[in-house]
Structure 1
Amino acid sequence: MQKFVGMGVALVTPFKEDLSVDFKALTHLVNFNIENGTRYLVINGTTAESATISLEEKLQITACIVAATANRVPLVLGIGGNNTLAVIEEIKTLDLTHIDGVLSVVPYYTKPTQEGFYQHFKAISEATEKPIILYNVPGRTAKNMDAFTTIRLAKDFKNIVGVKEAGNNMQQYLELLKNKPAGFLVISGDDDLALGITLAGGAGVISVIGQAYPKEFSQLINCGLKGENKEGYAIHFRLMTIIDAIFEENNPAGVKTVLKELGICGNEVRLPLVKASAQLGENIANFVSSFKA
């Protein structure tokens, strides 16, 4: 699954002032990323505000990104939830012809046991031949899928090809890297840890900040893949401030503020999220201005 090695980005969904989807800005964002080194694109992830996107909008957004991408990079579509049967139904209903993989989040709110996690992803795996990347993000789902369960799934199902691990838990990352079967991808979902995880044997990142600074962050990940720690950390140190800033309040309000400052899209978000505060906006604007210089 070399197509998912390197820097992927979890795309935002740009909105107009009336909160309708801004397809022109979305196309611009896709082209900006592909032209500046992004390896693959993730559609309808958490950063896309998937919780507030209707199914009709999801279909329109996917079609827009497929058209804009024009087969230049692989596409991963977020299809997950806490209703296993509904997830399977969505996978079977959607046209996945132009989709290279599925990113499926650990069930949220319901807090299953580890066996519940296993059976959930077993059922999803058996419902499609598409490669599946598991998405473990306990800060959002309220419960951690532990390394043992992830490795068990990786060994038992050939189309479960990787995990986007986003628990900011270095010990769990290392357990996954130590015990994973050959070819299984451990992908960082934490921008602040992405270089270290890649240097330790990870497959790269599905990044948030990467879509705003695709050239720099893809270079950082490529350094990690080549074992060039000194060069990689030189880039990491340049981006540290903005990586911290975009997660200071909520995601994706932070990165949308960066993208607005860069002239790529607006910073509108849908409730219950709100725009970045005036102070955070000022801090981000100062960073963007100084980074250009």
Structure 2
Amino acid sequence: MSIFKGAGVAIITPFREDGGINYTEFDKLTEFQIQNGTDAIIVAGTSGEASTLTHGEHLNLIRHCVRTVAGRVPVIAGTGSNCTETAVKLSVEAERAGADGVLLVSPYYNKATQNGLYQHFKTVAEAIQIPILLYNIPSRAGCNIQPETIVRLCREVENIVGVKDAGGDISQTAKLLALAEGEVDVYSGNDDQIVPVLSLGGKGVISVLSNVIPRQTHDICQLYFEEKTAESAALQLQSMKLIEALFCEVNPIPVKSALNLMGFAAGIPRMPLTELEEVNKRKLEQAMKAYGILG
């Protein structure tokens, strides 16, 4: 049973001017998502700047998100770490908080072997009972979870059910889905590849784009599921310039700027990330105006 089907938002973490988490604004962003059809909330992931949250902030944010969402859509908590013990502790606490699942990024910096990745994810999975999505993002983590390893984990470990595939290699995605034979829930981790991944048998997307246009991102998936593939593809293509602008600097720098332009108080990223450069801010504004988000 899939944790969700469709478009889940990789929600940002808004910060106050003093640098703390702005929970009031987080609630506004959460309501904006739910009211516009988001199929799941993915909290404390890459877009949520989990890497610069303290463990206390990280867990408080997950608990707060679960309370705010109140069962209206699934909440998937980012609990990955390059330290297996830390990933276990975060995942156990996320389960206690009521999260519907966890998202485990591959251990970054360590550059584990495929056997090491298998043992890492298996160890975390054995500590909890809720479903797990792996998160394969070689460009950030420095290692690639090979399709064979993903399939092995999903077949041999009961509560590992799928993967957020942010590798960007559609050939590897096709190989994964061919090997999986329906036993792995695959979600695109790249907003410019939603329809291609769905066409291969994917379940949806874990999306940065959805922070800004949740209804349209949901509709890309829903139209595809309704076999309205031309309409789905048209929405995907219509969003390409906006997607490009949202990744003109490393995520989540541009998307936080976009939300600020929309009137939300997303704040600025935590160091070492910085505010969007002016030349890129103009590019982002132009893309948002062209899409009709800004007047």
Please tell me the TM-score bracket, short chain as reference. Answer: over 0.9
Question: Deviation at 1:5?
Answer: 1.1
Question: Deviation at 1:94?
Answer: 4.7
Matches within 5 A, 1:110-259: 110-259=110-259
Deviations 1:29-68 (A, max 9, x none): 0000000010000111011111110122123222322222
CA contact (8 A) 1:262 1:288 kept: no
Q: Tell me what 2:99 maps to.
A: 99
Q: Tell me what 2:39 maps to.
A: 39
Deviations 1:115-151 (A, max 9, x none): 1111111111111111000001000001111101111
For 2:2 and 2:146, locate their aligned partners in 1 and report how far apart those are by CA, in whole Å: 25
Q: 231-240 or 6-15: which moved more?
A: 231-240
Q: Tell me what 1:6 maps to.
A: 6
For 2:56 and 2:83, locate their aligned partners in 1 and report how far apart those are by CA, in whole Å: 19
Question: Unaligned stretches of 5+ in structure 2?
Answer: none
Matches within 5 A, 1:21-36: 21-36=21-36
For 1:286 and 1:201, locate their aligned partners in 2 and report how far apart those are by CA, in whole Å: 34
Question: Deviation at 1:230?
Answer: 1.0
Aligned CA-pair RMSD: 1.5
Change beyond 3 A, Cα 1:92–1:98? closer
Deviations 1:2-29 (A, max 9, x none): 4421111111001122221111111010
For 1:97 and 1:206, locate their aligned partners in 2 and report how far apart those are by CA, in whole Å: 21
Deviations 1:78-125 (A, max 9, x none): 111111122223333455342100100111101111111111111111
For 1:81 and 1:103, locate their aligned partners in 2 and report how far apart those are by CA, in whole Å: 10
For 1:178 and 1:138, locate their aligned partners in 2 and report how far apart those are by CA, in whole Å: 21
For 1:149 and 1:3, locate their aligned partners in 2 and report how far apart those are by CA, in whole Å: 21
Q: What letter corresponds to residue 136 of structure 1 in structure 2? A: N
CA contact (8 A) 1:220 1:235 kept: yes
For 1:124 and 1:209, locate their aligned partners in 2 and report how far apart those are by CA, in whole Å: 29
For 1:267 and 1:171, locate their aligned partners in 2 and report how far apart those are by CA, in whole Å: 37
Question: Deviation at 1:223?
Answer: 2.1
Per the normalisation by structure 1, the TM-score is: 0.96
Q: 58-67 or 217-226: which moved more?
A: 58-67
User: Secondary structure, in 3 states, of the residue corresponding to 1:236?
Assistant: helix
For 1:199 and 1:241, locate their aligned partners in 2 and report how far apart those are by CA, in whole Å: 22
CA contact (8 A) 1:154 1:181 kept: no
Per the normalisation by structure 2, the TM-score is: 0.95
Q: 101-110 or 263-272: which moved more?
A: 263-272
User: Secondary structure, in 3 states, of the residue corresponding to 2:279?
Assistant: helix
User: Secondary structure, in 3 states, of the residue corresponding to 1:96?
Assistant: helix
For 1:49 and 1:85, locate their aligned partners in 2 and report how far apart those are by CA, in whole Å: 20
Q: What letter corresponds to residue 88 of structure 1 in structure 2? A: V
Q: Tell me what 1:283 maps to.
A: 283
Question: Unaligned stretches of 5+ in structure 1?
Answer: none
CA contact (8 A) 1:80 1:87 kept: yes
